[in-house]
Amino acid sequence: MTDRSTSADFVTAFSTGWPEREPHLLVLSLTTHKGVQDFAMTRDQALLIAKTIKRTAAQLTEPKKAG
């Protein structure tokens, strides 16, 4: 895990909702220039991911203003 690239792919993601036949799962679709991947996760996993994203976003620095 320590031998990671210093650049990241651009990712877009969206939740496809709670499937009708599997109401305990959330399907998340991630799209990069390499293609689309779908991930199924439980409610607890989805909440943990959302919490982690929110915490990480709060730590980001403000973008530099053009000037």
* pLDDT tens track for 48-64: 988 998 898 888 877 77
Answer whether residue 66 is part of any domain: no
Answer whether residue 49 is part of any domain: yes
Total domains in the chain come to: 1
Q: Looking at the DSSP assignment, which residues form a beta bridge with residue 15?
A: 28
For residue 6, what are its two tokens? Answer: 């210093």
Residues 1-54 have pLDDT tens digits of 566 666 666 666 666 666 677 777 888 877 777 788 888 888 889 889 889 988
Answer whether residue 4 is part of any domain: no
DSSP 60: S
Answer whether residue 2 is part of any domain: no
Answer whether residue 29 is part of any domain: yes
CA torsion through residues 13, 16, 22, 26, sign? positive
Does pTM top 0.85 for this prediction? no
Answer whether residue 28 is part of any domain: yes
**Domain that residue 36 falls in:** 24-59
